[in-house]
Structure 1
């Protein structure tokens, strides 16, 4: 997978200060290709862009002045995201300003895009990936305890080749364990997506059969918007 080249550094600087203007609602995107919107042929940045648009359309003055800072990168792993939120000044300053943080991470640690499923890869990497997730949550909380953080849970793109259900079991196991890691934090939530892609995957997936297409991303965005209501 790509190693993160092409990062969009739409970020505030230290000179901007740590707080938003009173009338600005700031969204920050973190993580991997699912939050970047890979597979969305419309160019609307996948579910994150759709969430921004959905909020903008609401008759709510808090969303009159929306800003989004995009840090999601194709191929990013939990270790790379942890390093980013701990050490990259632009990312940290954006997090401090955020009202809403949208993120996905973990899929690149645990799965490979291939014609075969590999439960052994998941089993070998789960513990370290979960430790990184825990540290990411702790870091986000330290930077900005008031931001609403939405972790978009993993789905199973391997249904057609996962005849024994081994990967589905591990996807559900991962989401459960990450959900447990969110429990200590009032403003960190896992939003489940597993059920959104259980049927008719050809309709909701892009040509790589791994990332959602614009229709699939729309389903994720709708669920997040429902939660935010």
Structure 2
């Protein structure tokens, strides 16, 4: 079965129920989980069970703040960063404010160790507590792989949360499951299995999210080649979570899509995919597989000749979003770690 076919099968099982990961898949999940537990025991948990904070108001601009909420697992709260301003939510907020020329208030409702099934509660809090979000960024998936959560169960939970947020008028951008094959403490034969399982989940996540009306940004390859080549700079001391530099790279990939779904810059949201930049339009399953293979690729729904669906399902565009330009001066926004601090 092709990679697109496997991703489509997982997404279909998420939508209609049933379907398992198979004997080989179950064994693979078990082995990866065992090795992660061993590595965890050796390394320990130097950061505890909480992120460094960072909630607050970013950007010294007039007007009503854009409400940004981060949901998901430890990456959504920036576990491994030294300061709150180095978390992905803070870096995204600090980068978004000069683009929109408005302040951005960022809240974190993710949880260290969080799995996709917890998104239901996090989503309810996002909608019921405080101002309604303008945009929600979800980062989740790694713990689903290492805790043997059936991929269709994880995708079903993610899709349900995205659908609920979209029905409430909230824009959603999902950073898909990272490449667990980057964890060197997992023995080499199983590292390939970890990579295959995490990328398979990332592709299925994309299908579910696009079907629910959200957009995804691929982090699998991003947290693959680049993180392998620059491990000291990209990983925190626990060798599992990104460092401040790693989180800045993640935020750099997600920020353009966050700005785009909010309508900044004007005209970018509906830009026709550019074949010269490796972009295009395909059914969502094949677009999802392409995204997994190319860091920072956004996938979102699109109409073709006035139709949302074609012979092979939902149409989707895959784009490489450029870093947005701030409204003042026209300079590209830099999202280096520690650039901005939140105000009360």
With the shorter chain as reference, the TM-score category is: 0.7 to 0.9
How many residues in Structure 1 have an aligned counterpart in Structure 2?
Answer: 200
Taking a change above 3 Å as real, the CA distance of residues 220 and 214 of structure 1, as seen in their structure-2 partners, is same
Q: Which of 87, 96, 105 is the aligned partner of 1:67?
A: 105
* Contact 2:71 2:119 survives alignment (8 Å): yes
Q: Which of 89, 94, 105 is the aligned partner of 2:140?
A: 105
SS at match of 1:76: coil
Matched with 1:142 is: 167
* Contact 2:89 2:106 survives alignment (8 Å): no
Q: Which of 8, 24, 27 is the aligned partner of 2:68?
A: 27
Taking a change above 3 Å as real, the CA distance of residues 105 and 85 of structure 1, as seen in their structure-2 partners, is same
Alpha-carbon distance between aligned partners in 1 of 2:48 and 2:151, rounded to the nearest angstrom: 21
Matched with 2:197 is: 170
* Contact 1:78 1:129 survives alignment (8 Å): yes
* Contact 1:3 1:75 survives alignment (8 Å): no
Matched with 1:195 is: 221
Q: Which of 96, 101, 119 is the aligned partner of 1:55?
A: 96
Taking a change above 3 Å as real, the CA distance of residues 142 and 162 of structure 1, as seen in their structure-2 partners, is farther
Matched with 2:176 is: 153
SS at match of 2:88: helix
* Contact 1:37 1:45 survives alignment (8 Å): yes
Unaligned runs of 5+ residues in structure 2 are 1-44, 57-62, 260-323, 325-344
* Contact 2:94 2:104 survives alignment (8 Å): no
* Contact 2:174 2:216 survives alignment (8 Å): yes
SS at match of 1:129: helix
Displacement of 1:103:
1.2
Unaligned runs of 5+ residues in structure 1 are 12-21, 113-120
Alpha-carbon distance between aligned partners in 1 of 2:204 and 2:198, rounded to the nearest angstrom: 10
**Structure 1 residues 173-195: Cα deviation after superposition (integer angstroms, max 9, x where no partner):** 11110111122244x11111122
Alpha-carbon distance between aligned partners in 2 of 1:24 and 1:51, rounded to the nearest angstrom: 14
Query: TM-score, structure 2 length as denominator?
Result: 0.52
Matched with 2:114 is: 76
What is the root-mean-square deviation of aligned Cα atoms in Å? 3.0
